[in-house]
Amino acid sequence: MIVMFLNHRVIKTINMYKFIISIVIFFISENFIFAQCPTTLTLCSQNSVDAFPTKYRGCRSIDTLYIDLKHCLGELNDIVNLDSLYSIEFIGDLTINLSPIFKGNFYGLSNVKKINNANVFTQKSWRSPLPFDTVNTLVFNFPKDTITDISLLSNLKFISKSITFLQSGNFTPPLDYRTNDSLNITIENNVSKNRIQNVLPKNLSASKISFHILSTQNIDFDFGYKVDSIKSIKLIHSPNNDFSTLREVKKFGLFEITNSNIEKFACEEIGFLAINVCSELINLGDLFPNLKKITNALGINFNKNLKSIDILDKCELPSVKPITGNSYNFGLIFSNLSISYILISNNPKLNTCNSDYLCRAFKRFGDSIYIGDNLNDCNDELLQKECSISSVAENDIDSAYTIIPNPVTDVLTISPPMPNGTRYRVINLLGNTVMSGEMFDRISLGELPSGHYIIMLDKPDKHHPPQAIKIVRI
């Protein structure tokens, strides 16, 4: 009797477990069988939108969603609402390009919690704000047929990488969003009168923001607070913007001007400086009268009226050594991958032959700079021949090294010792390399004629420039 009772309990327990397992399998099948999300999906008609919850039941994540302007049959799409997309919570890449009959009913996307990259082509008929609040990158296209504002972005709370505004439109009302520790802001083809502070993040200073201004005018760059440094600003085909409140900025990480006119800045240090196709510029010193240092790289190209770069004679040479063979890929600078520091070319009124700055640059960097196609074809070969050892400024000599003896007759000892395999070059008065090799703590100079030389020590650390040491061989 006891055995029969126990068997009955065991059977009952087994049946209960079977029931539980069947329920679990049912829900698993709901997710794995019915929640089949497409990797890439194009919606081109109202029917394709309405069919989404049936065709992709339970789908919450889509890598690429394109809501197309064209109907599946080739005409303008007939989408009037996106209600059937309510299950979606994440979109990798989203493009919204709807016909004018869509009135901006984005209720169907209200459950989307995050979008990596959003590209939205707005219509003047839209009234409701875009529903998403968190994106990595956002491209906001103003309508081409009218001037609208950015009220559609009133729900925006966080942008992690970049925001781009295309076409003319008004930066009102001010955005209220935050970002990470850096942000890119691009404004292109906008001629409306705007204030830059209306599209700035609430938690980040200008020292960590990069601005790319292309074919744009009438932007007031008043940040609403004092600015000491700006990470990056590129002005390309963008005259007539107001930089009056930025005149006293002391440092720019990157300053690129292409076919744009600006007045003088008081900055003392620029990381990357590019001046290209600026026909009104005659004297670089008129633009940057207080410039003392260009940290990384310099490019001055295709400026038809530029006559003077004498302000550079007061500047320190680049102090950050680039990776060999890499170009910085901004503007027209370093299209030749072998050029790493300085490129000055195609300035038909510029005489570079007497530039102390370039003489020092050739001594330090050699073939890593290019000067050519300027006035009288004053190319790099002529420039090197005219350079003298007196052109090498004292601040280019590394006082951290002790060299003995100097003057030297044969073996020169350097302390502290350099890392094994350190390359060196010995340069004469004409700027020519007369000896090179590898060293540790000494160099034999016995085969050199008597005279003045510079020894360039190429440090293996890519973040430091070669070090220059003056010597006299007797």
Q: Which long-range contacts (CB under 8 A, 24 or more apart) does 433-438 make?
A: 433/366
CA 248, CA 182: separation in Å to the nearest integer? 22
Q: Tell me the helices (H) and strands (E) count for the chain, helix number first.
A: 6, 23
Answer yes or no: is pLDDT of 322 > 80.
no
Average pLDDT, the chain: 82
pLDDT bracket for residue 295 (50, 70, 90): confident
Instruction: Read off the pLDDT of residues 28-56 as tens digits, 9 standing for 90 and up.
Output: 444 444 458 999 999 989 999 999 999 99
- For residues 44 and 20, is the Cβ–Cβ distance under 8 A? no
Quote the pLDDT of residue 5.
45
Model-level pTM? Answer: 0.76
Q: Which long-range contacts (CB under 8 A, 24 or more apart) does 286-289 make?
A: 287/262, 287/263, 288/264, 289/264
Instruction: Read off the pLDDT of residues 77-99 as tens digits, 9 standing for 90 and up.
Output: 889 999 999 999 999 999 999 88
- Percentage of the chain beyond pLDDT 70 is 79
In this predicted structure, which of 31-40, 103-112, 298-307, 371-380 has the lowest mean pLDDT?
31-40
Smallest Cα–Cα separation from 308: which of 340, 280, 286?
286
Answer yes or no: is pLDDT of 152 > 70.
yes
Mean pLDDT of 316-325: 59
Of 25 and 106, the one with more pLDDT: 106
Distances in whole angstroms, Cα of residue 253 to Cα of each of 27, 250, 366: 55, 10, 25
Quote the pLDDT of residue 390.
44
pLDDT bracket for residue 447 (50, 70, 90): confident
Quote the pLDDT of residue 338.
54
Answer yes or no: is pLDDT of 391 > 90.
no
Of 71 and 61, the one with more pLDDT: 61
Quote the pLDDT of residue 332.
44
Instruction: Read off the pLDDT of residues 186-229 as tens digits, 9 standing for 90 and up.
Output: 999 999 999 999 999 999 999 999 999 999 999 999 999 999 99
Mean pLDDT of 308-327: 70
Range among 196-210, 318-332, 365-379, 424-438 with highest mean pLDDT value: 196-210
Quote the pLDDT of residue 459.
56
Of 66 and 36, the one with more pLDDT: 66
Quote the pLDDT of residue 440.
76
- For residues 265 and 288, is the Cβ–Cβ distance under 8 A? yes
Quote the pLDDT of residue 435.
86
What percent of the chain is helix, strand and coil (3-state, nearest 5)? 20, 30, 45
Q: Is 111 helix (H, G, I), strand (E, B) or coil?
A: coil
Pairing of strands 411-415, 442-444: antiparallel
